[in-house]
């Protein structure tokens, strides 16, 4: 039997970097194959080449023994190849079903397709409403859309580029069941993830890339995650040091009785949210995506303001009515979950993206942007956070996902905030860099800053947080001390059914079995 997919000597360069260097590999029908590697190793580039969204400079691709010459995503789909992009490729201004129709069907029976989507997405534990507009969706929900789009097609080869980065643990379990089912029916799956436990659970074989080259293969089920990590990073992982926290007397962030209506009919209403974060501690906010995190974070960051100025106080000062820039003046910094388009301007160079929030640190003089200053600011972040980029002149969109994440986190930390809000800090970041970012967060808090981490990764929260909050259907639980709680308790709080006011029509968003 010929392999489902065979790559021979694929090479691809971008200005200043060889993203894929003479890569060969093959995948058999029904095989679940992991591609592992550091941020910027060239994984996404290789996937885009397989899918036809990018063209290799040289090398050949065979599908079922037949060479595929110059191809495009459309011809790939005709061959039965489907791909979930790391940064989603959805049309923002139209609805979910219209998006899927564009990729899927040649008949335009939207109602039937919508029913199919609802049915399939519920079956796979990734509920989505086919009639919502994509720009209203959170990152997690977009990811579900992408996955459901591919699954609808009954593919022969399915490429998943970090599909679980923002999925809930429950959805991941369901997804894995589905993938195994697909594989047993003969579909080959290429799976990219930085979460090694997932890879071990799911994948039969793995190819490891470093600096664009194949550096090894592994059988994940027979290796420990430490071994895999070492293969990826090429060095030992740094060890975490979490010293005990010494919280400040007064809270740096104080939220009191914050109530806010939903932004639109699909948003979540915040109900009487109260909590505080003191200097010197890390507080984690756990919860299933779509339970009000987006609303809460945009109110905390000042992207949305609130009439009751006292409901959010930063450093003892009323702040709910202030916009993001004014809150940053009070010492706030913030890393949002969307890195392209929110945390960074995609076509702008990194030095320009440094100015976005760091202009306050003397990068603007007499109303003019200090380009040299911005360049060296960006260069420092690139160096300190080991961002793989072609210098401060590289555009944000040319960076690999994890590297852009490192840059944004680095930029915000370089502002030396008193209050640091961060959503999904290690989303898409490789194991080495994730450990580094976590350590930096711990160090930042131990130097006196108040840190609020919003994450769906319980492991991460348990590793670095001092106290944990859980958000569910717009309500935030009382704080739990990390050392005195456990995953089960948190998990229960995350999925509790809202008993208070019965059904509110959005039950399906929060309750995912």
Q: Which residue in this structure is represented by tokens 């003019």?
A: 368
Q: Which stretch binds ligand ATP (CB under 6 A): 13-21, 200-208, 223-231, 494-502?
A: 13-21
Under a CB-based contact definition with an 8 Å cutoff, are residues 400 and 408 in contact? no
Check binding of 81 to other proteins (CB under 8 A).
Answer: no
Output the CA–CA distances (angstroms, integers) from residue 306 to 222, 310, 320, 460, in the order listed.
53, 9, 5, 31
Q: Select from 293, 311, 398, 445 the one that contacts ligand ATP (CB under 6 A).
A: 398
Burial status of residue 329 (CB atoms within 10 A of its CB: 0-12, 13-18, 19 or more):
exposed
Q: In what order do the strands lie in the sheet with 251-260?
A: 270-278, 251-260, 312-314, 317-318
Least distance (Å) between residue 204 CB and other proteins: 25
The Cα–Cα gap between 310 and 324 comes to: 16
Q: Strand 58-63 to strand 66-68: parallel, antiparallel, or no bridges (unpaired)?
A: antiparallel
Check binding of 20 to Mg ion (CB under 5 A).
Answer: no
Check binding of 289 to other proteins (CB under 8 A).
Answer: no
Output the CA–CA distances (angstroms, integers) from residue 71 to 35, 66, 148, in the order listed.
22, 13, 24
Check binding of 284 to Mg ion (CB under 5 A).
Answer: no
Site string for other proteins, 179-208 (x = CB under 8 A): ------------------------------
- Beta-carbon count within 10 A of 304 CB: 17
Q: Strand 332-335 to strand 419-423: parallel, antiparallel, or no bridges (unpaired)?
A: parallel
Least distance (Å) between residue 225 CB and other proteins: 24
Least distance (Å) between residue 507 CB and other proteins: 29
Q: Select from 76, 86, 311, 357 the one that contacts ligand ATP (CB under 6 A).
A: 86
- Beta-carbon count within 10 A of 263 CB: 14
Q: Select from 191, 334, 351, 377 the one that contacts other proteins (CB under 8 A).
A: 334
245 vs 398 by CB, closer to ligand ATP: 398
Q: Strand 205-210 to strand 213-218: parallel, antiparallel, or no bridges (unpaired)?
A: antiparallel
86 vs 357 by CB, closer to Mg ion: 86
The beta strand positions in 336-395, using DSSP E, are 364-365, 368-369
Which long-range CB contacts under 8 A does 300-307 form with residues at least 24 apart?
300/253, 300/255, 300/334, 300/421, 300/452, 301/327, 301/332, 301/334, 301/336, 301/421, 302/326, 302/327, 302/328, 302/332, 304/260, 304/263, 306/258, 306/260
Check binding of 392 to ligand ATP (CB under 6 A).
Answer: no
Q: Which stretch binds ligand ATP (CB under 6 A): 89-97, 317-325, 400-408, 464-472?
A: 400-408
Check binding of 424 to Mg ion (CB under 5 A).
Answer: no
Check binding of 323 to other proteins (CB under 8 A).
Answer: yes
Check binding of 212 to Mg ion (CB under 5 A).
Answer: no
Least distance (Å) between residue 252 CB and ligand ATP: 32
Check binding of 415 to other proteins (CB under 8 A).
Answer: no
Q: Which stretch binds ligand ATP (CB under 6 A): 126-134, 144-152, 168-176, 399-407?
A: 399-407
Least distance (Å) between residue 428 CB and ligand ATP: 6
Check binding of 44 to ligand ATP (CB under 6 A).
Answer: yes
Segment 15 to 34, residues that bind ligand ATP, using CB under 6 A = 17, 19
346 vs 491 by CB, closer to other proteins: 346
Least distance (Å) between residue 304 CB and other proteins: 9
Check binding of 45 to ligand ATP (CB under 6 A).
Answer: yes
Check binding of 165 to other proteins (CB under 8 A).
Answer: no
What DSSP assignment string belongs to 455-510?
A: -S-HHHHHHH-SEEEEEETTEEPPPEEGGG--HHHHHHHHT----TT---S-HHHH
Segment 35 to 54, residues that bind other proteins, using CB under 8 A = 44, 48, 53-54
Least distance (Å) between residue 364 CB and other proteins: 4
Q: Which residue is nearest to Mg ion (CB)?
A: 44
Coil, strand, or helix at residue 31?
Answer: coil
Residue 37 site contact among ligand ATP, Mg ion, other proteins, none (CB < 5 to 8 Å, cut-off depends on kind):
ligand ATP
The Cα–Cα gap between 288 and 475 comes to: 12
Q: Which stretch binds ligand ATP (CB under 6 A): 37-45, 68-76, 110-118, 346-354?
A: 37-45
Structure tokens at 234: 């090429």
Residue 14 site contact among other proteins, ligand ATP, Mg ion, none (CB < 5 to 8 Å, cut-off depends on kind):
ligand ATP
Alpha helices in 274-341 (DSSP H): 293-301, 324-329
Check binding of 44 to Mg ion (CB under 5 A).
Answer: yes
- Beta-carbon count within 10 A of 428 CB: 26
Check binding of 301 to Mg ion (CB under 5 A).
Answer: no
Under a CB-based contact definition with an 8 Å cutoff, are residues 277 and 253 in contact? yes
Structure tokens at 344: 């960074």
The Cα–Cα gap between 141 and 175 comes to: 14
Structure tokens at 69: 């010459």
Residues at the site binding ligand ATP, with contacts judged by CB under 6 A: 14, 17, 19, 37, 39-45, 86, 388-389, 398-403, 428, 430
Residues that bind Mg ion (CB under 5 A): 44, 86, 400-401
Tell me which residues touch other proteins (CB under 8 A): 44, 48, 53-54, 85-89, 161, 301-303, 323-328, 334, 336, 338, 340-348, 352, 355-357, 359, 364, 367-369, 397-401, 404
């Amino acid at each position: 039997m010929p392999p489902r997919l065979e790559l021979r000597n694929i090479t691809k360069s971008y200005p200043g970097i060889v993203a894929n260097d003479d890569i060969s590999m093959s995948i058999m029908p029904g095989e679940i194959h992991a591609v592992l590697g550091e941020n910027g190793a060239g994984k996404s580039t290789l996937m885009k080449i397989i899918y036809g969204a990018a063209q290799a400079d040289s090398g050949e691709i065979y599908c079922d023994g037949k060479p595929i010459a110059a191809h495009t995503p459309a011809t790939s789909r005709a061959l039965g190849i489907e791909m979930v992009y790391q940064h989603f490729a959805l049309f923002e201004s139209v609805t979910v079903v219209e998006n899927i129709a564009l990729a899927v069907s040649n008949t335009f029976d939207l109602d039937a397709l919508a029913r199919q989507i609802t049915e399939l997405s519920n079956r796979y534990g990734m509920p989505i409403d086919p009639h919502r507009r994509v720009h209203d969706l959170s990152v997690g929900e977009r990811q579900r859309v992408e996955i459901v789009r591919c699954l609808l097609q009954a593919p022969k080869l399915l490429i998943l580029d970090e599909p679980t980065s923002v999925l809930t643990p429950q959805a991941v379990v369901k997804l894995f069941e589905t993938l195994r089912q697909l594989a047993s029916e003969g579909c080959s799956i290429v799976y990219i993830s930085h979460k090694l436990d997932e890879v071990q659970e799911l994948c039969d074989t793995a190819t490891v890339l470093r600096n664009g080259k194949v550096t090894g293969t592994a059988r994940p089920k027979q290796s420990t995650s430490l071994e895999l990590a070492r293969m990826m990073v090429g060095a030992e992982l740094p060890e975490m040091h979490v010293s005990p926290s010494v919280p400040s007397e007064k809270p740096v962030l104080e939220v009191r009785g914050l109530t806010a209506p939903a932004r639109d009919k699909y948003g979540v209403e915040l109900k009487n949210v109260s909590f505080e974060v003191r200097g010197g501690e890390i507080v984690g906010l756990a919860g299933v995506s779509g339970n009000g995190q987006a609303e809460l974070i945009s109110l905390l960051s000042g992207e949305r303001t609130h009439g009751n100025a006292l409901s959010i106080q930063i450093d003892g000062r009323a702040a709910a009515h202030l916009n993001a820039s004014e809150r940053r003046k009070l010492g706030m910094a913030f890393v949002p979950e969307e890195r392209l388009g929110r945390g960074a301007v995609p076509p702008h160079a990194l030095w320009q993206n440094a100015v976005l929030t760091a202009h306050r640190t003397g990068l603007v003089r007499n109303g003019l942007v200090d380009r040299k200053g911005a360049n060296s600011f960006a260069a420092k972040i690139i160096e300190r956070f080991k961002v793989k980029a072609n210098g401060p002149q590289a555009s944000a969109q040319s960076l690999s996902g994890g590297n852009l994440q490192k840059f944004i986190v680095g930029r915000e930390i370089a502002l030396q905030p008193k209050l640091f809000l961060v959503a999904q800090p290690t989303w898409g970041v490789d194991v080495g860099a994730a450990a580094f970012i976590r350590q930096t967060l711990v160090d930042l808090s131990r130097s006196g800053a108040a840190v609020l981490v919003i994450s769906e990764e319980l492991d991460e929260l348990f590793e670095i947080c001092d106290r944990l909050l859980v958000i569910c259907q717009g309500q935030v639980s009382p704080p739990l001390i990390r050392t005195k709680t456990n995953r089960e308790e948190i998990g229960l709080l995350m999925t509790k059914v809202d008993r208070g006011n019965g059904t509110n029509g959005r039950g399906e968003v929060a309750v995912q079995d």
